[in-house]
Chain A
Amino acid sequence: MEQTIKLRRGLNLHLEGEAQKVVRQLPQPAEVAVRPTDFTGLTPKLLVREGDEVVAGQALLTDKQSGRIHIPSPIGGRVKSVVRGDRRKLLAVVVESVEKADATLSEGQGAVQEGSLVERLCQAGLFCFFRQRPYDVVASPDDTPKGIFISTFSKMPLAADFSFVLKGEEEAFKEGLKALATIAPVHLGICTCQEKLLGGLDALENVTVHRFDGPNPSGNVGVQINHVSPVNKGEIVWTLRPQAVIFIGRWMQTGRVDLREKVAVAGSEVAEPQYVETILGAPLRDLVGTVGAHQRVINGNPLVGEKAGADDFLAAFVSEVCVLPEGDDVHEAFGWILPRLKQHSTSRSYLSWLMPGKKYAPDCRIKGGKRHMIMSGEYDRVFPMDIFAGYLIKAIITGDIDRQEALGIYEVAPEDFAVAEYVDSSKLELQRIVREGLDILRKENA
């Protein structure tokens, strides 16, 4: 058995409104949407037009460059609308479900039998769920990765518990892992609290299980890669969220693309935080109901997820949807000197450190002005990788590509900086900075 990898740096945040371990079945949504913006790094090309009839699993979009990576429709029905934003950027393809459609239309796609597994995954439309390091973008089927990394846990605040999500899907997960292991060595990162989840997974051929013990972001796959087999320049690893392994497993078992998933609906503004079983791309209002003017729906968890609009749809790479108070109606006087017992802080100028078990219900205010980097060591305290986070951020801001490479930019993804962004007293948008840095670097290296 491999030794447990202990991580010391990081921060576990306890927020009010964690999802209860109960699953509520949602009816099939009237419409679902595929959001190409979720598939970072992919230039989408439309394959359907408004009014077209599609079957579940049929490609709606493809990658303009290779033409091989397809994004499938989660349900069968009719293309209701194609939503575009500024400069005609493709934001979403909405598919409405048609009566009686399910039975007939979803039968359309059978298992693709020819070609390698990667080729078949591409054709089935499941390859779009693979991401790669470096750059944290959708992987390319032409690459040979040195490994496939999957983290089965997330310690982000309000995150879904995969051990619970997995219940009833164990076989599909195992099947998915077996398939992935034929592509490249699979590294499965589990939490020390998840021993039960294992159930013989470590006996699978070409699958290595790594145990991690430590605070958030130890569940980030990037952190796990950094400790197991760091990415050097020129190397590529693929990563998958564990739910995507289940998608692949189901497809291996039945030959059909089935994008149903359990999603945690959480947050201090949710009346009954619990899990819901729905389908990828479902309208968020089906999950959270109507929200007030001073509430924020987050597609994902409060640290990594994006702020969603009222009519948005469930993103492709998230396992939870949260509702928090927006806080734009809060006017707090002299916050810089008051004890502010209800607010969490890692700084000991507040009293949170004396109440480690307390749960907080934060709002979305930035709570301070943007400054240059003043304090030192703030990021490193919560950044459990062998990388100087502050120096890397500075190299990205100054656009010094050689230095970014030297400092390890190939190993990081924006989400790895989420906790650092939370604790930052200078209120810099670290995830945005890293995302932009990675995009520029990718263009330069192309």
Chain B
Amino acid sequence: MLQQIFDKLRPSFEEGGKLHAFRSVFEGFETFALVPSETSRSGVSIHDAIDSKRIMSFVVIALLPALLFGMYNIGYQNAAAAGALATTGCWEMFLYGFCVMLPKIVVSYFVGLGIEFAVAQWKKEEINEGYLVTGLLIPMILPVGTPLWMMAVAVAFSVVFAKEVFGGTGMNIFNPALVARAFLFFAYPTKMSGDNVWLSKDTWFGLGHVVPDTQTMATPLGEAAAGRMADISFADMLVGLMPGSVGETSVYAILIGAVILLVTGIASWKTMLSVFVGGGLVAWLFNMGGMDNAVAQIPWYEHLALGGFCFGAVFMATDPVTSARTECGKYVYGFLIGALAITIRVLNPGYPEGMMLAILFMNMFAPLIDWCVVQGNINKRAKRMEK
């Protein structure tokens, strides 16, 4: 059935057809609906059933728990700020969050995939699935208060300058989602941190509550950076009903995603584990060091549960393209991300979160780590020759 529909449509998208300008879009949808029946010509006759579509789809699935919780949390924070927690139902909170997030996701995909389709058409290549993940990640790592147009600009910037100029998915040096965030962070700092961005203050389709503009809300890390210890228990941190970027607050929801990624083997447990080891160890050292700094005094396990640490460790650090590619390298890479993230948190007074910069920084150094590992193998071979 599907096959017949595509067969009927195909001629108009082929060279000389009326809709040739949309060939990449057509192909994108066709391969989405039907597994290509192209068979191998050289090399192996049979192939593993895995392909990058499935890999990316599973990452998206792994992101869903954190996204759904994030939606609920948007509604929860809105109700909490309006002082209407008791009168607002769970579903109402979730639907409110859903309505807030949906335009963001749509805009992110529309802008990003639009550019991807255009580039694929221009280079006569197939569409890469990488943006399916990036496009969902971007709204999830931004504060809920980021205006849509700002996100659209950031998406366009990161897809073009962090990905396509390098040659597309698989060739990029920096994680595109984090580049989008970093772009906003440096271009519009007031919209990315502070006390006034973590709350959705308007009503949507009659859902939610109008919150006065003067009402503000800080993340626990933000409070600690300002010298106040946040009034939140460790158990609450794990649940995640607190202000923060949309997807990052709930450790439990991220944990479900982590389990999906690790069981399917899509993310490297080596990277993930060593991020936590590195972060935990450095946070513990700061705890021991007795610095006169509220962030340094946050217990090490709370450090790991707060801010974007878990989200970054599970979904960002493990990006196979921008992380270290050698197995030994993954330990070093992950460890340094964790260590740097906590160091930035503690020592940088200007900004309370360090995960984004730590990962971007290590993205830059991942090739160097790999170079050292590969060079070890090369030296071994050279030595063998001298014998």
Residues of A that sit less than 8 Å from B by CB? 15, 157, 230, 232-234, 296, 298, 302-307, 322, 324, 326-337, 340, 343-350, 362-377, 380, 386-388, 390-391, 406-408, 418, 421-427, 429-432
Contact = CB atoms under 8 A, between A and B. Distances in A.
Contacts of A157: 46
B44 interface: yes
Contacts of A391: 374
B13 to A, nearest CB: 17
Contacts of A424: 48
Contact of A365 (B36, B171, B381): B36
Q: Which 10 pairs between the two chains have the least Cβ-Cβ distance?
A: A368-B51, A372-B170, A335-B35, A376-B325, A336-B53, A347-B50, A343-B49, A345-B49, A431-B43, A332-B35
Given A330-B37, A335-B35, A431-B43, A346 B50 contact: yes
A390 B39 contact: no
A427 B130 CA distance: 16
A15 B192 CA distance: 55
Nearest to B266: A349
A365 B385 contact: no
A390 B324 CA distance: 13
Contacts of A304: 44
A157 to B, nearest CB: 8
Contact of A331 (B34, B130, B381, B384): B34
Contacts of B348: none
Interface in B14-64: 31-55, 57-58
12 contacts: A334-B32, A344-B48, A345-B48, A347-B55, A349-B265, A366-B40, A366-B47, A368-B53, A371-B52, A388-B326, A407-B377, A425-B51
Contacts of B2: 331, 333
Nearest to A327: B39
Interface residues of B, number: 57
Contacts, number: 212
A367 B126 contact: no
Nearest to A11: B48
B323 interface: yes
Contacts of A344: 48-49
B48 A364 contact: no
Nearest to A352: B49
B42 A306 contact: yes
Contacts of B168: 372
A303 B52 contact: no
A324 to B, nearest CB: 6
Given A331-B34, A426-B52, 11 more contacts: A296-B45, A305-B45, A330-B35, A346-B50, A363-B46, A365-B38, A374-B55, A376-B268, A407-B374, A407-B377, A421-B43
A425 B46 contact: no
A32 to B, nearest CB: 24
B167 interface: yes
Contacts of A365: 35-40, 47
Contacts of A390: 325
